[in-house]
Amino acid sequence: MNKTFKFTALAFAVAASANVAAQEDGKPFDSWLGLHGMYYNTEETKPAPDLMDDGFGFGFEYGWRFDESWAVRGEYTVLDMDYQQVLGSKDSISGHMFGVDALYFLPDDLWYVFGGVKRQLLDENYNLANVGIGKHWDINDDVKLTTEIAAYRDFDDSYYDYSVKVGLAFPFGQSKTSSYSKPAPVVDGDSDNDGVLNSMD
């Protein structure tokens, strides 16, 4: 429980610090809410306590894009994992996975790469590092299709997993131009009809 509390506190601290930095710097940024489905595959020797196989999940994310290239997000997924039935304990196990990622967007948002930390709560708990690549595909101004591939490594036992994720992202608070704007150019002329150009008045 203590490890879970520390991990959750760290996740919220990273997300909050990025959000505060965006507000303080006054940089343009996007926010989005996302829903996703996930295929998750585990290393064959990973126990929970029986040996896990693969499974599916669904979840949501909340992201902040605090400048043109960088963003941070929090993610939560409910997992339903199958067992290999080596020990014959039960057919499957349900659990949760949550964590934070930093995202780097390539020019013109061609792709983004990401890395972060995750916590899995199953019959046994795991702390994971993850890296991946994804893309937000424009459907229209209000909805984007999300596709991602990610790899995971367990901190303690060096298990390697991977996932494929497909979902929808709903952007809001989209990037705007800076609040500073140049003064409107003065059109030269004789607006007061005094025979002298405005620039000479």
Mean pLDDT of the chain: 78
pLDDT digits (tens, 9 = 90+) for 62-71: 999 888 889 9
Most confident of 45-49, 143-147, 174-178: 143-147
SS3 readout for 122-134: CCCEEEEEEEEEE
Where residue 193 falls (left for φ over 0; alpha for ψ -120 to 50; beta otherwise) is left
**pLDDT tens digits, one per residue of 157-186:** 878 999 999 999 999 876 544 333 344 444
CA 92 and chain centroid, separation: 28
Closest by CA to 75, choosing from 123, 29, 132, is: 132
Q: How far apart are CA 33 and CA 17, in angstroms?
A: 19
Band of residue 7 on the pLDDT scale cut at 50, 70, 90: very low
